[in-house]
Structures are given as structure tokens and as C-alpha cells.
Amino acid sequence: MTSAFHRRPDLLAAGVREHELRRRLRTGELVRLRRGHYLAERPTGPEQWHRARALAAAPDLAPDAVLSHVTAAVLHGLPVWDLPLDRVHSTRPRRSGARVGRFAHVHAAQLDPDEVVEVDGARVTSVARTLADVGRSAPFEQAVVVADAALHRHLVSREELDAALARGTRRPGTPAADRALRFAAAGSMSVGESRSRVAMHLAGLPAPVLQWPVVTAAAWWWARSTSDGRGSAASASSTGA
């Protein structure tokens, strides 16, 4: 979603009167995003609301702050299944000063220049750093879902993930992040497939063979992640005759 933001001072400066602003909000021509910030259209889901709030908050962050953690994952277009989206997360490169407010969570941690990228005009942690941060702060299953998607879309390499983890070996949660990111696999094509892999792992079942090829007389089929290639149940999709 790339809807333009409208700030109250800008609208008033452009000649929009108070009663006209209230009318636009009442009729839905404008949608209130946060105090003094409006959108021209309503976001379609929680991720889009979070994205809009993050981009609206970005100009008001401290000069050294970078959007991070689950917020960065949303901005990179990654699935954030079952992760809270009530606060915009950012990181400042300092040893102290972390705080949690009603709408914002500010983290304090080392942040190297090459771990920062730009997304829609906002400074955001790189995909590799984002996955490391999510792995440190989110439960195993949720972290795997995000990492699987990034690997599947070729947004990050295994080497980049290893490097991101190596930079923060002393940060809290790094062992958990290491477990989740090492478990992540590029072959998972959806949230459901990632969750199935995690469920099988936790149940002590053999690791599935992702995208197992099945040949029939009519078509090639690819068994999805619920198949271990040894006769267990599988969902499948056809790639054509």
C-alpha cells in the first residue's frame, strides 16, 4: 500500500478548513491514521495498517533511529503470522535507552551502516538483520515463518543470515535466533508449509522433503512440505502436462 499521507498542518496550510476536515473524516474521504496524520484510503488488513503507521511515524523518529524487528519485516513484505502489530518498532545504535510505550517500542543495540536500507523513503534494517532481530524476540514458529519466506523469495542468503547472527552473539535471544534461522528453509512456499514443518519437527517426525516431485502419466506434480517422500500424506500442485 502506498497511499499518500496527509498531515493536519499541511491540509490547513492548503486551505482545508476545520469543518471540511471533519467532513472528509466523517464521509471516509480521509482515514485517521494517528493524531494529525491521515490517509486517502483505508488499509485492507493489520499488516497494511502497521505499514502505514510505521511510514507515518518514520519522519518523527530520532535521527539515528531505524525501523526494525516486526515492523521492518512488514515493510519488507514478509508474512508476520501471529506477531503483535500494536507497536511500531525501531532501533537506536546505543547501549541503553530502550523503552516500550503504548504505540512504540524503541530498542537499543549496535547497528552497523550496512545493516540499514531504505524502503519507501524510510530507514529500515536490512532483511538479514531483521530476521536476526525477529529470531531473538519472537517464538520459534513465528520466526521460522518470516525467515522461510525471505529465503524462498531470495531476499536473503544463508551466508547473510550467518553473518547477521555472528555480529550479535552477545545479544539476548541470540541462541533462539540461531535455532530458528538454521531451521529455516527456502523450499517452504507458504505460512502453512512453514508451520507444518515446525509441527513435524516438534512432534519428532522426520524432516520433510520440500517440493517432492511426483510424475504421473498426465502431469508433473510437486508434493508440498507435508510429504517426507516416504509415503506420508501430502498436498500437491500441478505444474502442467
Judgement on whether residues 66 and 155 belong to the same structural domain of the protein: yes
If asked whether residues 154 and 119 sit together in one domain, one would say yes
- Whole-prediction pTM: 0.85
In a shared domain, residues 56 and 30 = no
> Do 159 and 122 belong together in one domain?
yes
Return the residue matching grid coordinates 519522519.
59
Which residue segment(s) compose the domain that 27 sits in? 1-42
pLDDT tens digit sequence for 50-87: 999 999 999 999 999 999 999 999 999 999 999 999 99
At 3 the pLDDT is: 54
Q: How far apart are CA 201 and CA 112, in angstroms?
A: 34
Q: pLDDT (tens digit, 9 = 90+) per residue, 10-28?
A: 999 999 999 999 999 999 8
The burial of 193, by beta-carbon neighbours within 10 Å (0-12 exposed, 13-18 middle, 19 or more buried), is given as buried
The string of DSSP letters for the chain reads --PPEEEHHHHHHTT--HHHHHHHHHHTSSEEEETTEEESS--SSHHHHHHHHHHHHGGGS-TT-EE-HHHHHHHTT---TT---SSEEEEESSSS--EE-SSEEEEE----GGGEEEETTEEEE-HHHHHHHHHHHS-HHHHHHHHHHHHHTTSS-HHHHHHHHHHTTTSTTHHHHHHHHHH--TT--SHHHHHHHHHHHHTTPPPP-TTEEEE-SS-EEEE-TT--SSS----EEEEE-
194 touches 144 (CB < 8 A): yes
Q: Residues 89, 105: contact at Cβ < 8 Å? A: yes
Count up the domains in the chain and report the number: 3
Does a structural domain hold residue 138?
yes
The CB density around residue 150, as the number of other CB atoms within 10 Å, is 26
The pLDDT confidence band at residue 233, using thresholds 50, 70 and 90, is very low
pLDDT at position 237? 41
Are 179 and 223 in a shared domain?
no
Is residue 235 scored above 90 in pLDDT?
no
Higher pLDDT, 168 or 2: 168
Confidence of residue 96 (pLDDT cuts 50, 70, 90): very high
Q: Do 170 and 109 fall within a single domain?
A: yes
pLDDT in tens, 155-205: 999 999 999 999 999 999 999 999 999 999 999 999 999 999 999 999 999
115 in any annotated domain = yes
Are residue 17 and residue 121 in the same domain, yes or no? no
